[in-house]
Structure 1
Amino acid sequence: MSTVTQLFNAPAADVWKVIQEGWLYSGWVVGASRIRSVDDHWPAEGSRLHHSVGSWPFLIDDSSRVTAVESGRRLELLARGWPLGEAKVLITLEDLGDSQCRVSIAEDAVRGPGKLVPRKLRDPLIAVRNRETLRRLELMALGGAGRRS
């Protein structure tokens, strides 16, 4: 799996608030262009968010499903984007105190054409995308996204 880790200048609780608000997903996940619907019980295990990937007019409508969750600390997804395939994604948060946390994203293709790309080529491409994903996630947490009044 390609793994990217970043130190955030935001507490883990604020980062989790962004993650648990499924409607914000397309704001921080590189490649997700819009959210079409979010299950009411997101991000509980088995819940889905229905997203589109790509750029208009070349959009793929699919969904991601939570396969495991530890509230505030860990989210595991099966992200789908057929006909490109499916990926397992694991997001972990480690609270470091002093308004900091360490966030990691581990990801790899598990099914479909993406799995046919050799790992030596696949991992660096995933890492570049997920570095930007983490940058966006930190900015959204710092800006107060996901905090309901």
Structure 2
Amino acid sequence: MTSNTREMACTTDDVFRVLANGWLYPAWVVGASRMRDVDESWPAAGSQLHHSVGVWPALLDDTTEVLEWDPPRGIMLRARGWPMGEAQVTLRARTTPTGCQVRIDEEPVKGPAALIPRLFTAPMLRWRNAETLHRLAYLAEGHAESS
């Protein structure tokens, strides 16, 4: 599993307003390129985002499902990106004196990516998730609204 944390100059509620808007997913998740649909029940457990990953013309359609929704503390997702596989992604937020701290943990759990030794996948996931938290901070600190 890889972990990244970031201090943000906003509240945990600001972070969860962004997470609650499924249409913002490609704005903060590195690799997600477009949204095709968001389940009406998003972000309830079991709901899904229907997104594409990659760059045109090599786009792959897939989904991300909410496993646990516990605002303003955490969200657990099952992110699918086949043919690479699936990952469990958990974001946790906590209040700090200057705003909040958000932690993202990612663990490949299915498919070819789960078979690659962490020695090789961890550096790439850390880099990607540092940028993911950077983008999430822009949206949360800018007070992006939920749909």
Into which bin does the TM-score normalised by the smaller protein fall?
A: over 0.9
Matched residue, 1:133: 132
CA RMSD of aligned residues (A): 1.1
1:50-69 Cα deviation digits (max 9, x unpaired): 00000000111000001112
Amino acid at match of 2:71: S
Where does residue 89 of structure 2 map in the other structure?
A: 89
SS at match of 1:41: coil
Deviation at 1:84, TM superposition (A): 1.1
Give the whole-Å Cα distance in 2 for the aligned partners of 1:18 and 1:128: 21
Runs of 4+ more than 2 Å apart: none
- On the 8 A contact 2:10/2:140 being kept in 1, the answer is yes
Matched, 1:65 2:65: yes
Identity %: 46
Contact conserved, 1:11 with 1:97, CA < 8 A, in 2?
no
Residue 45 of structure 2 aligns with an amino acid whose one-letter code is: E
- Tell me how far 1:131 sits from its aligned partner: 0.1
Q: Do the aligned partners of residues 110 and 147 (structure 1) sit closer, same or farther apart at CA in structure 2, a change above 3 Å counting?
A: closer
* Structure 2 match to 1:46: 46
Deviation (angstroms), 1:41: 1.2
For normalisation by structure 1, the TM-score amounts to 0.95
**TM-score (ref. length: structure 2):** 0.96
Separation of aligned partners in 1, 2:122 and 2:42: 28
Q: Deviations over 1:58-104 (max 9, x none)?
A: 11100000111212211000000111100000000102254x00000
Is the counterpart of residue 18 in structure 1 residue 48 in structure 2? no
Q: Secondary structure at the match of 2:35?
A: strand
